[in-house]
Amino acid sequence: MGSRERLVVVGGVAAGMSAASKARRVNGDLEIIVYEKTSFVSYGACGLPYYIQGLIAHHRELLARTPEQFAKRGIQVFTRHEVTRIDPENRSVEVRNLEDGTVFHTPFDRLVLTTGGHAARPPIPGIELEQIYTVRTVEDGIALRTFIEEAHPRQAVIVGGGYIGLEIAEALTARGLQVTVLEMLPQVLPNLDREMTEPVVAELERQGVALRLEHRVEAFEGTGGKVRAVRAGGTLFPADLVVLAVGVRPSVALAREAGIALGPTGAVAVDDHMRTNVEGVFAAGDVAEAYHRVTGRPAYIPLGTTANKQGRVAGENAAGGDATFHGIVGTAVVKVFDLEVARTGLTEREASEMGLEVRSTTITHGSQAHYFPGGGPLRVKLVYQPDGRLLGAQMVGRGAAKRIDVIAAALYGGWAVEDLTRLDLSYAPPFAPVWDPILVAANVATR
């Protein structure tokens, strides 16, 4: 292998390129090779719904860095190259060039596995029909937007009422399509407690989105190889296109075949240094578990923020450093038309399912001073234990994105609800009332 040690990174994007970049900063002598099976190696995947909507004019605006830019930093990036096998015993990977089909082997000293996750495609009859899309990669976004602009579809069915499903519902509505969202559960946004989704349902209805809860998809029906309708709950819903948004699964096939251990969530098990059970092999991002600071257990919450942080830790340690990933609290926010919807920590349902004794407080309060134009109601739910230990929060309405981070920081610090009542939060009429909704909720909870 020569005198230089070699790091191979399997997969690019958030975790992979964070790992490669951090490894380069830590060890200037390390040879770094990245294999990415798609055509793009560094981009903002969370911007795809807004590209599809047309708010972002060109997919190039989503790109963070190109292979050529990484090459200037001493990182070799090979796009359209898929790693098909990892051989830990012989310290090598098998790689297929997707452009010409050739297969070759690359030895490594250390390896970072960042194969990410993939959009779930359940085995539903008709799933192979054309015009059934997922939104996970830049290529996915280009394909869906191109179809919309060239074929001018009129009716869209979105399968799944989670974050991505509702973001795409907004994007397609803005494009002038009639949108139906099918969700097999009795609520949208399953990561929230049910009562917190009531304003979301009202907003979807206000924007003209047809929402059908407790509608499990039974089949996709079509003619000429193209989808024409979705059968769900015994009803046929016409569709010129379908978007599947039924969750993300960790892409663990390579890991499993290489003897890399999976954890209880089904993702790759890692320690706080992002090490796997195989010596010299690290994992990060949507393929890996993360330590949840509230539960003390492994969790699978695939988000770009976590992927970037885990990638940095994995890259530093693969290059000879000693970094630690301190865990997550499960913070997320989504825009649903004119609503901000956010959560962190545990919901009341999640805490109860874990066997915890749980209490909750829900309030609705103005997001700004009552006399200032442009404000609106903000619903806040705090979840905590009888002794006051804070477990989580959910917020729906104007200002949720600003405030959820306060609770996330409190969870990271292990605070109690009473600690929230003492916070010196910012106040000005355009941004908050003199009693911020967080303070109102905390005061009610401590009575």
Instruction: Match 């209490």 to its residue by tokens.
Output: 359
Percentage helix, strand, coil, to 5, in the chain? 30, 30, 40
Distances (CA, A) of 123 to 96, 127, 217, 220: 27, 7, 11, 11
Name the 3-class secondary structure at 280. Answer: coil
Q: What are phi and psi of 352, to 5 degrees?
A: -65, -40
Residues 33 and 106 sit within 8 Å (Cβ to Cβ): yes
Distance of CA 238 to the CA centre of its chain: 29
Amino acid at 276: T
Pairwise CA distance, residues 5 & 1, whole Å = 8
Q: Is residue 46 annotated as part of the catalytic site, yes or no?
A: yes
Give the N- to C-terminal CA distance of the chain in Å, as an integer. Answer: 67
Query: CA–CA distance from 379 to each of 188, 211, 358, 393, 427 (Å)?
Result: 16, 22, 19, 10, 18
CA 290 to CA 304: how far, in whole Å?
Answer: 13
Query: How far apart, in whole angstroms, are the C-alpha atoms of residue 333 and residue 342?
Result: 4
Helical pair 400-412 and 437-446, crossing angle rounded to 10 deg: 50
Tokens of 14: 């958030």
Residue at token pair 């009542």 = 421
Catalytic residue among 5, 6, 44, 46, which?
46
Contact call for residues 43 and 13 (beta carbons, < 8 A)? yes
Q: Which helix (H) or strand (E) holds 429?
A: none
Which three-class secondary structure state does DSSP give residue 361? strand
Give 419's contacts (C-beta < 8 A, 6+ positions apart): 390, 410
**Residue 362 structure tokens:** 């829900």
CA distance readout (Å), 340 to 334, 347, 419: 6, 17, 25
At 232, list the tokens: 């769900």
Sign of CA dihedral 345, 348, 349, 351: positive
- Helix axes of 163-174 and 198-206: crossing angle, nearest 10 degrees: 20
> Cβ distance 286 to 117 under 8 Å?
yes
| Active site members | 46
